Amino acid sequence: MSSTEYLFKVIDRLLSNTSDPLSFSKIYKMIYDEVEKTRPVNTASINLLREVGRYILENGFNGISEFLDTLRRRYEDACSEAARIAANRVVDDDVLMTMSNGVCLRRMFKFLVDEGIRFSVYVLESRPGMEGLDLASYLDRLGVKTYLIIDSAARFFMKNVKKVIIGAEAIAVNGAVIGKVGTSLLCLVANESRVRVFVIAPLYKFSYETLHGELLELPEGDWSYLMDEEIRSGLPENYRARVPLYDVTPPHLIDGLATEYGLFAPQAIPAIIRQVYGEFPVRTEDLEIIVNRVIEVLSR
């Protein structure tokens, strides 16, 4: 599930538990624990939980459904606008390369098709989750000329590519991109071939924790991402499968971040944040503290 898909799922789960404060506090804490354990780099959900917590602490529980609806519309609009801005970098007969299967990435391709832009796409299979298969299927339904390739063939086909456009799980304050594992290798290959790389990055994916020097924890999967039990049973016993799910791409490998406020170089993040929030660094409170205060308030 992509970063933005997960964000909207979190909103739906919160909306389905707005009947009373106690039920809401339980699902709010449950989602926080889940994000911390399974999606610690999903900054979109972290930022959402922080905004919801601040709302409750400042306004109480009344109006929480309307507030969540407002946040959903805001995130929808931000994703679409960032996708539209990224689409503006594509011209007729461009050959693109991408990976994974993000919501904002799909919207960019839909914008291009609706505008009548002629283009083709190389899609990496995107192991271990194989999300590239879903994206290739989506592009095929749009009528886009699509090549599904194995991840390790990115360098082989890069000579045919004009631009790389990808999504992200999170953006650090220094412009580093946390994305599906393999993103950094794809960007490195593009940089070697002098192919420009653009990342669709609405501001809800910016990690404000990294403003204060915190490191994002990159989770790993287990052997089940690579094989079934039958294959595993035939392998030697003394081994350990390591399956990183995300990696970090340094900012010097990224040419532009397509946000809802425009296209920026990664080094311009402080200017973007100052423009939007009126200050840099943004003053943020630890999410765990907010969650505990919200539970205390809603349990009274």
Omega before residue 40 within 30° of 0, cis: no
Provide the 8-state DSSP code for 206. B
Rounded CA-CA distance 22/107 in Å is: 37
**Is 237 a member of any domain?**
no
Q: pLDDT at position 102, please? A: 94
Q: What amino acid occupies position 35?
A: V
Rounded CA-CA distance 169/196 in Å is: 20
Q: What amino acid occupies position 116?
A: G
**Is 266 a member of any domain?**
yes
Pair 70, 104 in one domain: no
Q: pLDDT at position 239, please? A: 77
Domain count, the chain: 2
The number of helices, as runs of H, and strands, as runs of E, in the chain is 11, 12
* Domain limits for position 136: 89-216+245-277
Residue-level pLDDT, tens digit, the chain, 300 residues: 889 999 999 999 999 999 999 999 999 999 999 999 989 889 999 999 999 999 999 999 999 999 999 999 999 999 999 999 999 999 999 999 999 999 999 999 999 999 999 999 999 999 999 999 999 999 999 999 999 999 999 999 999 999 999 999 999 888 999 999 999 999 999 999 999 999 999 999 998 766 544 456 788 887 787 778 888 878 887 777 888 899 999 999 999 999 999 999 998 888 887 777 666 666 777 889 999 999 999 887
Contacts of 214 (CB under 8 A, 6+ apart): none
Pair 154, 262 in one domain: yes
Residue 146 burial (CB count, 10 A): 18
CATH number at residue 110: 3.40.50.10470
Pair 119, 195 in one domain: yes
Q: pLDDT at position 213, please? A: 47
- Roughly what angle, to the nearest 10 degrees, separates helices 21-38 and 287-298? 160
- Give the containing element (helix H, strand E) for 246: strand 246-249
Among 115, 177, 180, CA closest to 142: 115
pTM for this prediction: 0.91
Q: Are 191 and 183 in contact (CB under 8 A)?
A: no
Pair 271, 168 in one domain: yes
**Is 239 a member of any domain?**
no
Pair 124, 269 in one domain: yes
Pair 147, 260 in one domain: yes
Pair 100, 50 in one domain: no
Contacts of 295 (CB under 8 A, 6+ apart): 25, 28, 29
Pair 97, 134 in one domain: yes
* Strands of 262-264's sheet in order across: 145-149, 119-124, 94-98, 163-166, 196-200, 256-259, 262-264
Q: pLDDT at position 214, please? A: 46
Rounded CA-CA distance 267/46 in Å is: 23
Q: pLDDT at position 233, please? A: 79
Residues facing 237 on adjacent strands = none
Q: Are 221 and 128 in contact (CB under 8 A)?
A: yes
Pair 128, 164 in one domain: yes
Rounded CA-CA distance 181/99 in Å is: 10
Rounded CA-CA distance 83/86 in Å is: 5
For 97, the 3-state DSSP assignment is strand
Tokens 């915190």 -> residue = 214
Pair 33, 9 in one domain: yes
Residues facing 170 on adjacent strands = 178
